[in-house]
Structure 1
Amino acid sequence: MVTDPAIELVVNTVSASNALLRASRRVFRPFGLSEAQFNVLQVLQDADDQLSQRELSDILIVDRSNITGLIDRMEKAAWVKRQPAPGDRRAYRVALTPDGRRLWRQANAAYVQAIARVTVNLTPAQIKAVSRVLPVMERSAHALELELAAAE
């Protein structure tokens, strides 16, 4: 039994995160989407215009080599399209296709329903409290990761 509240918080957060990831995989599976692909669709949907692959990589915190393969697969499925970036022959801009936008709407509706089911037993105050705490923990964990990496 864990008696340290900080350890209990981290263990519960990791456990909840793992459960949420497993559930999200099942939410997206009927649409033929991975979580990463859904996230690309979400970011492009939220963007006012096309984004470069570099911008997508930065927003999603995905290695640039991984974003290329991800966009390749999504372009092959006709969910996104690449266009050469004006003024830079090496760069591409990525935008949703009509099929990609339609897929995002369907998958997002299922995702919103899933989120409602996950949070149904939480009060609005609890949701706000957790929403304030988790980013602080994330920043601290990221700082620790960088510190440990520098010490290697």
Structure 2
Amino acid sequence: MASKLQNEIKKRKPFDRLEEEATLNCLRTVDYMQSRTAKLFRRFGLTSSQYNVLRILRGEAKPLPSLEIASRMIQQVPAITGLIDRLEKAEHVKRHRCEKDRRVVYVEITDTGLAVLNKIDEPLVELQTQFFAHMPRKDLRELIRLLEQVRSGAVED
């Protein structure tokens, strides 16, 4: 009997390995969730990465060095400077050079950045709720545990 993913992608033969099917299921799910959240963020003039930076800064409630922000990102970005440049141009963040070490740049969320996050909060909660509305809380906790287990076995290059 064909798996749901096998039917969705119209794969004629079963997957060769469970690891392949699990990986493709994760990737397809992430793609679905990313495209829906990206569409929401675009309504507010942000990308997912820009939202992530603002979320980090709001949560910390103080300026952070740009490299610290980069280390906390959900999705790793190769050019944190360019990302912060665009947020600064939109007046969502402002930068301050460290007086003790001029190489360190602190980034602070502005009132404009906080305001856009406040507008996003409710529709984002609604979207996230839609993603998982059909799942019992017990299953959500298990999903979280399993995803963390996958990442704990990952080897960095």
TM-score (ref. length: structure 2):
0.83
- 1:23-78 CA-to-partner distances (Å, cap 9, x unmatched) read 11111111011000000010001103110011111111333xx1100001100100
Deviation at residue 89 of structure 1 after TM alignment: 1.5
Task: Please show how residues 132-151 of structure 1 align to structure 2 within 5 Å.
Answer: 132-141=145-154, 143=155, 146=157
Deviation at residue 4 of structure 1 after TM alignment: 4.5
Letter in structure 2 aligned against 1:126:
D
Give 2:36's aligned residue. Answer: 23
Deviation at residue 124 of structure 1 after TM alignment: 0.4
SS of residue paired to 2:95: strand
Please tell me whether residue 97 in structure 1 is matched to residue 110 in structure 2. yes
The unaligned stretches of length 5 or more in structure 2 are 1-13
Q: Which runs of at least 4 in structure 1 moved beyond 6 Å after TM superposition?
A: none
Give 2:97's aligned residue. Answer: 84
Work out which of the two has the higher radius of gyration on C-alpha atoms and give 1 or 2.
2
The size of the alignment, in residue pairs, is: 142
SS of residue paired to 2:27: helix
TM-score (ref. length: structure 1):
0.86
Give 1:106's aligned residue. Answer: 119
Moved more, 83-92 or 34-43: 83-92
Cα RMSD, aligned residues only: 1.6
Please tell me whether residue 57 in structure 1 is matched to residue 56 in structure 2. no
Q: Which has the higher helix share?
A: 1
